[in-house]
Structure 1
Amino acid sequence: MSTDTLAWTDVCTVDDILPDAGVCALVDGRHVAVFRVGADGFHAIDNVDPKSGASVLSRGLVGSLGEHVVVASPLYKNHFDLRTGECLEAPEHSVKAHAVRVEAGRVLVALNA
């Protein structure tokens, strides 16, 4: 699907997200974690930790494992790739990754089906 045909939701300003940190946003009724990662830009994944069911991934630690830019769940410490949503330790616990773009200093998210 082209990013031009996605339904974009304005979630915050660029400055509302500290570098190498995340925030939680409600996008079309879905809890989404939006991260600002240094030179890598912005990423969005589902915020609900699939192992616990808690909406906490936005509060995890951001870092890297090899070529993966990840967030570590604050509860079970599983690592989620911010580009794909893949859970590196248990792929069956992967989450969805969502499209992000920045326009005029605002961060916008579009849900991927």
Structure 2
Amino acid sequence: MSDQNIAVKNKDWLTVCRTSDLIKDSGVCALVEQGLEQKQIAIFHLPNTDKKVYAVDNYDPIGDANVLYRGIVGSVGDDIVVSSPLYKQHYCLTTGKCLQEDISIDVFPVRIIEDQVQLFV
């Protein structure tokens, strides 16, 4: 995803990229504006799942860094997770809950309309 892919407001949904910007079975990072602040959101394209696309906060609260889009995706039991590249905690992509610690990250509704990946923020 290039620096040109700045989020564009579309009613209540925010277009953040095109589906061609996504990487199968991996993550990309989108920078979105929330009020006066900017937030990094990790978007994961998992075409072999029911939802196909998941969006969570890119910030790893345990590692204290914006790195989750670089994590490895997989499953632990019935949970679809991303493993933090720093200390390897697993965060559930549907709930945001960390499976090893009593901590959670934000999860964002995401949809694909035609070729546009949109977040509800």
TM class by smaller structure: 0.7 to 0.9
Q: Greater helix percent: which structure?
A: 1
User: 1:8–1:110: 8 Å Cα contact kept in structure 2?
Assistant: yes
User: 1:27–1:109: 8 Å Cα contact kept in structure 2?
Assistant: no
Give me the whole-angstrom Cα distance separating, in 2, the residues matched to 1:98 and 1:81. 12
Which amino acid is the alignment partner of residue 46 of structure 1?
Answer: D
Runs of 4+ aligned structure 1 residues displaced above 6 Å come to none
Task: Tell me whether 25-34 or 57-66 shows the greater mean CA deviation.
Answer: 25-34
- Larger Rg: 1 or 2? 2
RCO higher in structure (CA 8 A, sep ≥6): 1
Residue 106 of structure 1 is matched in structure 2 by 116
Residue 3 of structure 1 is matched in structure 2 by none
Provide structure 2 residue ranges, at least 5 long, that are not aligned to the other structure.
1-10
- Aligned counterparts, 1:1-113, within 5 A: 7-28=12-33, 29-40=38-49, 41-92=52-103, 94-111=104-121
The alpha carbon displacement at 1:105 in A equals 1.0
SS at match of 2:91: strand
Provide structure 1 residue ranges, at least 5 long, that are not aligned to the other structure.
1-5
Cα RMSD of the aligned pairs, angstroms, is 1.2
